[in-house]
Amino acid sequence: MDRVALRGLKARGHHGVFPQEREEGQTFIVDLVLGLDTRPAAADDDLAKTVHYGVVAEEVVAVVQGEPVDLVETLAERIAQACLKHEAVEEVEVCVHKPDAPITVPFDDVTVTITRSRA
């Protein structure tokens, strides 16, 4: 399976279990790896036979900016399902970063990574 990756998609969302997270929001960063067969698109040099990663990026940002959820796990699942709606995408790995998570000790990042497929 071939891979198309989008790294570092940034959007402001209001996800989290604490009232401050819901009210003020924070930046979420999303990395995607889309699994698909790129051979038909490459053979014909045809965008219609692959995934339009610009459209995927816009849809992922819309999910992050959309309806708030408590858990990063839920956000990752919603993003995965949006990606799998694209016909060419057979599998997706989603990594959601929450670098401003409300943690009381020094840290660099919090991530949740999931892999989903049509099967």
| 32-to-8, 24, 104, 107 alpha-carbon distances in Å | 9, 26, 29, 23
| 28-to-9, 12, 47, 114 alpha-carbon distances in Å | 8, 6, 29, 16
Instruction: Establish whether 98 is a catalytic residue.
Output: yes
Question: Looking at 10, 49, 85, 98, which residue is catalytic?
Answer: 98
Residue with tokens 């990752």: 76
User: Which residues are the active-site residues?
Assistant: 98
